[in-house]
Chain A
Amino acid sequence: MLAAVRDPHDDRVRCPRAAPVHDHVGFVAADATLNRRAAAAAIARSRGLRAPEADALAAAREKLTTIEATTTDLRPAREQAAATAGERERLRERVARLRGEVQARREAGLDAEETTERFRAAARELSEAATAEAAATEQLDRERARVRDRYDARERRLALEDEIGNLERSARASLADAVRPRIKQALSALGADSDDPPTHEWLLAAARVAVVAAPVVVTAGPFDASEAAQWLDVPVVRL
Chain B
Amino acid sequence: MLLVVTYSRAARTTLRNICRAHEESVVRRFGRAALLAATDHGAFLACRLRERHPDAVQVERTAPFNEFTDVPDRVREAAVAYEREATKHTPYARFATGTDHPDPDRLRDRPLDA
* A72 in contact with B7 given A151-B58, A154-B56 (CB within 8 Å): yes
A161 to B8, CA, bound (A): 9
B54 and A73 contacting across the interface, CB-CB below 8 Å: yes
Interface size class of A (residues with CB under 8 A): 10 to 19
Contacts of B20 in A (CB 8 A): none
- A73 to B5, alpha carbons, bound, how many Å? 14
Contact of B7 among A75, A154, A162 (CB under 8 A): A154
- Contact, CB under 8 Å: B55 / A73: yes
Per-position 1/0 for B66-109, Cβ under 8 A of A = 00000000000000000000000000000000000000000000
Chain B interface helix/strand/loop/mixed:
loop
* Shortest distance from the beta carbon of A19 to any chain B beta carbon, whole Å: 27
Interface string of A1-45 (1 = CB under 8 A from B): 000000000000000000000000000000000000000000000
Q: Are A161 and B7 in contact (CB under 8 A)?
A: no
Is A69's beta carbon under 8 Å from chain B? Answer: yes
**Chain B: minimal CB distance from A30 (Å):** 33
B9 near A72: Cβ-Cβ < 8 Å? no
Whether B8 lies near A158 (C-beta < 8 A) is yes
- Asked if A113 is at the interface of the complex by the 8 Å CB criterion, the answer is no
Contact, CB under 8 Å: A151 / B7: yes
A157 to B7, CA, bound (A): 8
Q: Which of chain A's residues 151-208 have a Cβ closer than 8 Å to chain B?
A: 151, 154-155, 157-158, 161-162, 165
A151: chain B residues within 8 A (beta carbon): 5, 7, 58
A72 contact set on B, CB distance < 8 A: 7, 55-56, 58
B32's nearest neighbour on chain A, judged by CB, is A158
Number of interface residues of B (CB under 8 A): 11
User: Counting CB contacts under 8 A, is A66 at the interface?
Assistant: no
Judging by beta carbons under 8 Å apart, are B7 and A155 in contact?
yes
Bound Cα distance from A231 to B45, whole angstroms: 56
Shortest C-beta distance, A129 to chain B (Å), equals 23
Contacts of A162 in B (CB 8 A): 9
Task: Flag if A158 contacts B7 (CB, 8 Å).
Answer: yes
Q: Within the complex, which residue of B9, B54, B55 is in contact with A161, where a contact is CB–CB below 8 Å?
A: B9
Residue A71, interface by CB 8 Å: yes
- From A71, A73, A75, A162, residue with most partner B Cβ within 10 Å: A73
A151 CB to nearest B CB, Å: 6
Return A209 CB to nearest CB of chain B, in Å: 33
> Whole-angstrom distance from the CB of B51 to the nearest CB of chain A?
9
Q: Which residues on B sit within 8 Å (CB–CB) of A158?
A: 7-9, 12, 32
The residues of A with any CB-CB pair to B shorter than 8 Å are 69, 71-73, 75, 151, 154-155, 157-158, 161-162, 165
B interface residues (Cβ-Cβ under 8 A, vs A): 5, 7-9, 12, 32, 50, 54-56, 58
